Amino acid sequence: MNFLENKIALITGASSGIGAATAKKLSEYGVNLILTGRDENKLQQLKNSLQTQTLTFAFDIRNKKEVEKFVNEILSITHIDILVNNAGLALGLEPIDEGDIEDWETMIDTNIKGVLYITKPIFKHMKERNEGHIVNLGSVAGKTAYPGGNVYCATKAALHSLSESLNIDAFGTNIKVSTIAPGAVETEFSNVRFKGDKQKAKKVYEGYVPLSAEDIADTIVCVLNTPPHVNIQYVDIMPTNQRNPYMLYRDS
Protein backbone atom coordinates (compact mmCIF):
# COMPACT_ATOMS: atom_id res chain seq x y z
CA MET A 1 0.00 0.00 0.00
CA ASN A 2 1.03 3.59 -0.53
CA PHE A 3 0.59 5.64 2.65
CA LEU A 4 2.69 8.49 1.22
CA GLU A 5 0.79 9.79 -1.81
CA ASN A 6 0.10 13.55 -1.74
CA LYS A 7 2.15 14.10 1.40
CA ILE A 8 4.75 16.89 1.54
CA ALA A 9 8.36 16.06 2.41
CA LEU A 10 11.22 18.42 3.15
CA ILE A 11 14.68 16.98 2.47
CA THR A 12 17.90 18.72 3.53
CA GLY A 13 21.11 18.13 1.62
CA ALA A 14 19.04 17.13 -1.40
CA SER A 15 21.36 18.27 -4.18
CA SER A 16 23.23 14.95 -4.44
CA GLY A 17 23.79 11.50 -2.94
CA ILE A 18 21.25 10.07 -0.51
CA GLY A 19 19.18 13.26 -0.47
CA ALA A 20 18.72 13.30 -4.25
CA ALA A 21 18.02 9.56 -4.39
CA THR A 22 15.41 9.92 -1.64
CA ALA A 23 13.72 12.78 -3.49
CA LYS A 24 13.46 10.67 -6.65
CA LYS A 25 12.06 7.67 -4.79
CA LEU A 26 9.50 9.70 -2.83
CA SER A 27 8.41 11.42 -6.03
CA GLU A 28 7.63 8.00 -7.48
CA TYR A 29 5.31 7.46 -4.51
CA GLY A 30 3.45 10.67 -5.25
CA VAL A 31 5.08 12.78 -2.54
CA ASN A 32 5.37 16.52 -3.17
CA LEU A 33 8.80 17.85 -2.27
CA ILE A 34 10.64 20.75 -0.70
CA LEU A 35 14.34 20.38 -1.48
CA THR A 36 17.13 22.28 0.23
CA GLY A 37 20.88 22.40 -0.26
CA ARG A 38 23.67 24.81 -1.05
CA ASP A 39 23.87 24.23 -4.82
CA GLU A 40 20.95 25.95 -6.60
CA ASN A 41 21.89 24.53 -10.02
CA LYS A 42 21.89 20.93 -8.80
CA LEU A 43 18.59 21.46 -7.00
CA GLN A 44 17.01 22.81 -10.17
CA GLN A 45 18.34 19.89 -12.24
CA LEU A 46 16.88 17.47 -9.71
CA LYS A 47 13.55 19.32 -9.67
CA ASN A 48 13.31 19.01 -13.45
CA SER A 49 13.65 15.22 -13.22
CA LEU A 50 10.87 14.70 -10.66
CA GLN A 51 7.26 13.70 -11.21
CA THR A 52 5.59 15.67 -8.42
CA GLN A 53 5.29 19.31 -7.33
CA THR A 54 8.67 20.49 -6.06
CA LEU A 55 10.01 23.65 -4.43
CA THR A 56 13.74 24.31 -4.06
CA PHE A 57 15.59 26.57 -1.61
CA ALA A 58 19.35 27.10 -1.64
CA PHE A 59 20.92 28.00 1.71
CA ASP A 60 23.46 26.77 4.23
CA ILE A 61 21.85 24.80 7.05
CA ARG A 62 24.58 26.08 9.39
CA ASN A 63 23.19 29.62 9.04
CA LYS A 64 20.50 29.97 11.71
CA LYS A 65 18.98 33.15 10.24
CA GLU A 66 18.73 31.63 6.77
CA VAL A 67 17.07 28.52 8.18
CA GLU A 68 14.56 30.61 10.16
CA LYS A 69 13.71 32.68 7.07
CA PHE A 70 13.27 29.58 4.93
CA VAL A 71 11.10 27.69 7.42
CA ASN A 72 8.89 30.71 8.06
CA GLU A 73 8.41 31.18 4.32
CA ILE A 74 7.50 27.55 3.76
CA LEU A 75 5.11 27.29 6.69
CA SER A 76 3.32 30.44 5.52
CA ILE A 77 2.25 28.68 2.30
CA THR A 78 2.04 24.98 3.12
CA HIS A 79 2.45 22.31 5.77
CA ILE A 80 5.16 19.66 6.18
CA ASP A 81 4.31 15.99 6.71
CA ILE A 82 7.84 14.58 6.51
CA LEU A 83 11.25 15.97 7.42
CA VAL A 84 14.34 14.09 6.23
CA ASN A 85 17.40 15.46 8.00
CA ASN A 86 19.93 14.26 5.46
CA ALA A 87 22.45 17.14 5.33
CA GLY A 88 25.72 16.10 6.96
CA LEU A 89 29.38 15.48 6.30
CA ALA A 90 32.70 14.16 7.56
CA LEU A 91 36.00 16.01 7.22
CA GLY A 92 39.42 14.49 7.81
CA LEU A 93 40.50 11.18 9.29
CA GLU A 94 43.27 12.19 11.68
CA PRO A 95 43.73 11.28 15.35
CA ILE A 96 42.35 13.97 17.60
CA ASP A 97 45.73 15.54 18.40
CA GLU A 98 46.25 16.17 14.66
CA GLY A 99 42.69 17.24 13.83
CA ASP A 100 41.73 20.51 12.19
CA ILE A 101 39.57 22.58 14.53
CA GLU A 102 37.83 24.32 11.60
CA ASP A 103 36.85 20.87 10.27
CA TRP A 104 35.49 19.97 13.71
CA GLU A 105 33.38 23.12 13.83
CA THR A 106 32.02 22.51 10.33
CA MET A 107 30.95 18.97 11.28
CA ILE A 108 29.39 20.08 14.57
CA ASP A 109 27.63 23.05 12.95
CA THR A 110 26.24 20.90 10.13
CA ASN A 111 25.60 17.51 11.73
CA ILE A 112 24.18 18.76 15.04
CA LYS A 113 23.38 22.47 15.09
CA GLY A 114 21.97 22.55 11.56
CA VAL A 115 19.66 19.66 12.40
CA LEU A 116 18.50 21.47 15.53
CA TYR A 117 17.89 24.74 13.67
CA ILE A 118 15.54 23.15 11.16
CA THR A 119 13.96 20.52 13.41
CA LYS A 120 12.79 22.84 16.18
CA PRO A 121 10.21 24.87 14.17
CA ILE A 122 9.11 21.90 12.09
CA PHE A 123 8.65 19.69 15.16
CA LYS A 124 6.54 22.48 16.71
CA HIS A 125 4.52 22.65 13.47
CA MET A 126 3.99 18.88 13.53
CA LYS A 127 2.88 18.97 17.18
CA GLU A 128 0.29 21.60 16.33
CA ARG A 129 -1.04 19.34 13.56
CA ASN A 130 -0.59 16.20 15.73
CA GLU A 131 1.05 14.31 12.90
CA GLY A 132 4.31 14.04 11.01
CA HIS A 133 7.41 11.93 10.54
CA ILE A 134 11.04 12.95 11.08
CA VAL A 135 13.84 10.81 9.65
CA ASN A 136 17.37 11.52 10.82
CA LEU A 137 20.31 10.22 8.79
CA GLY A 138 22.73 8.87 11.35
CA SER A 139 25.57 6.42 10.87
CA VAL A 140 26.79 3.12 12.25
CA ALA A 141 29.69 5.33 13.41
CA GLY A 142 27.25 6.91 15.85
CA LYS A 143 27.14 3.62 17.74
CA THR A 144 30.67 2.25 17.21
CA ALA A 145 33.60 4.63 16.73
CA TYR A 146 36.40 3.90 14.29
CA PRO A 147 40.04 5.05 14.07
CA GLY A 148 40.26 8.70 13.02
CA GLY A 149 36.51 9.17 13.26
CA ASN A 150 36.54 10.96 16.63
CA VAL A 151 34.53 14.18 16.07
CA TYR A 152 32.43 12.81 13.18
CA CYS A 153 31.49 9.76 15.26
CA ALA A 154 30.65 12.05 18.17
CA THR A 155 28.30 14.14 16.01
CA LYS A 156 26.45 11.06 14.82
CA ALA A 157 26.21 9.69 18.37
CA ALA A 158 24.67 13.04 19.32
CA LEU A 159 22.20 12.76 16.44
CA HIS A 160 21.15 9.28 17.56
CA SER A 161 20.60 10.60 21.09
CA LEU A 162 18.60 13.51 19.69
CA SER A 163 16.33 11.07 17.84
CA GLU A 164 15.65 9.22 21.08
CA SER A 165 14.86 12.52 22.80
CA LEU A 166 12.56 13.59 19.96
CA ASN A 167 10.64 10.35 20.33
CA ILE A 168 10.21 11.15 24.03
CA ASP A 169 9.16 14.72 23.24
CA ALA A 170 6.60 13.31 20.79
CA PHE A 171 4.97 11.22 23.54
CA GLY A 172 1.19 11.50 23.34
CA THR A 173 1.23 12.68 19.72
CA ASN A 174 1.04 10.94 16.34
CA ILE A 175 4.53 12.13 15.34
CA LYS A 176 7.02 9.44 14.36
CA VAL A 177 10.81 9.74 14.63
CA SER A 178 13.21 7.37 12.88
CA THR A 179 16.98 7.06 12.61
CA ILE A 180 18.61 5.45 9.58
CA ALA A 181 22.21 4.44 10.34
CA PRO A 182 24.12 3.46 7.17
CA GLY A 183 27.52 1.88 6.95
CA ALA A 184 29.72 2.30 3.87
CA VAL A 185 27.75 4.08 1.13
CA GLU A 186 29.47 5.14 -2.10
CA THR A 187 28.45 8.76 -2.62
CA GLU A 188 30.42 12.02 -2.52
CA PHE A 189 30.91 11.39 1.23
CA SER A 190 34.55 10.26 1.04
CA ASN A 191 35.41 12.80 -1.65
CA VAL A 192 34.19 15.52 0.72
CA ARG A 193 36.00 13.94 3.67
CA PHE A 194 39.30 13.95 1.78
CA LYS A 195 38.65 17.40 0.28
CA GLY A 196 38.59 16.38 -3.37
CA ASP A 197 41.28 13.69 -3.30
CA LYS A 198 39.43 11.29 -5.61
CA GLN A 199 42.12 8.60 -5.49
CA LYS A 200 41.97 8.48 -1.70
CA ALA A 201 38.18 8.47 -1.77
CA LYS A 202 38.06 5.65 -4.33
CA LYS A 203 40.18 3.38 -2.11
CA VAL A 204 37.51 3.51 0.59
CA TYR A 205 35.22 1.42 -1.63
CA GLU A 206 37.72 -1.00 -3.21
CA GLY A 207 37.45 -4.78 -2.75
CA TYR A 208 33.75 -5.03 -1.88
CA VAL A 209 30.32 -3.88 -3.02
CA PRO A 210 29.33 -0.83 -0.98
CA LEU A 211 25.81 0.41 -0.44
CA SER A 212 24.45 2.94 -2.92
CA ALA A 213 22.46 6.10 -2.31
CA GLU A 214 19.48 4.25 -3.82
CA ASP A 215 19.81 1.49 -1.19
CA ILE A 216 19.45 4.06 1.57
CA ALA A 217 16.61 5.84 -0.24
CA ASP A 218 14.74 2.53 -0.50
CA THR A 219 15.20 2.02 3.24
CA ILE A 220 13.95 5.52 4.04
CA VAL A 221 10.84 4.95 1.93
CA CYS A 222 10.20 1.61 3.66
CA VAL A 223 10.39 3.33 7.05
CA LEU A 224 8.12 6.16 5.93
CA ASN A 225 5.56 4.05 4.08
CA THR A 226 3.99 2.44 7.13
CA PRO A 227 0.49 2.57 8.66
CA PRO A 228 -0.12 5.37 11.20
CA HIS A 229 0.31 3.01 14.16
CA VAL A 230 3.78 1.76 13.08
CA ASN A 231 6.94 3.70 14.02
CA ILE A 232 10.24 2.12 12.96
CA GLN A 233 12.58 4.00 15.27
CA TYR A 234 16.03 2.73 14.30
CA VAL A 235 17.61 0.90 11.37
CA ASP A 236 21.24 -0.21 10.88
CA ILE A 237 22.09 -0.92 7.24
CA MET A 238 25.51 -2.07 6.02
CA PRO A 239 27.03 -3.83 3.03
CA THR A 240 27.13 -7.59 3.51
CA ASN A 241 30.94 -7.40 3.69
CA GLN A 242 30.78 -4.93 6.58
CA ARG A 243 30.03 -6.07 10.13
CA ASN A 244 30.74 -2.82 12.01
CA PRO A 245 32.36 0.50 11.06
CA TYR A 246 35.90 -0.89 11.05
CA MET A 247 35.39 -4.61 10.18
CA LEU A 248 35.05 -4.61 6.41
CA TYR A 249 36.11 -7.66 4.40
CA ARG A 250 37.82 -6.78 1.13
CA ASP A 251 38.47 -9.34 -1.63
CA SER A 252 42.15 -9.60 -2.45
Per-residue pLDDT at 252: 74
Helix 115-129 to helix 150-169 angle (10° resolution) is 10
Catalytic residue positions, numbered? 152
Per-residue pLDDT reduced to its tens digit, 150-174: 999 999 999 999 999 999 999 999 9
* Domain extent listing, the chain: 8-242
Per-residue pLDDT reduced to its tens digit, 12-42: 999 999 999 999 999 999 999 999 999 999 9
CA 13 to mean position of chain CA atoms: 7
CB atoms under 10 Å from CB of 252, counted, come to 3
User: What's the CATH class of domain 8-242?
Assistant: alpha beta
Average pLDDT for the chain: 97
HSE, CB side, 13 Å, CA atoms: give it for residue 197: 10
CB atoms under 10 Å from CB of 189, counted, come to 20
Per-residue pLDDT at 29: 98
Tell how strand 175-182 and strand 132-137 pair up: parallel
Per-residue pLDDT at 31: 98
pTM over 0.85: yes
Per-residue pLDDT at 26: 98
Helix 115-129 to helix 64-75 angle (10° resolution) is 20
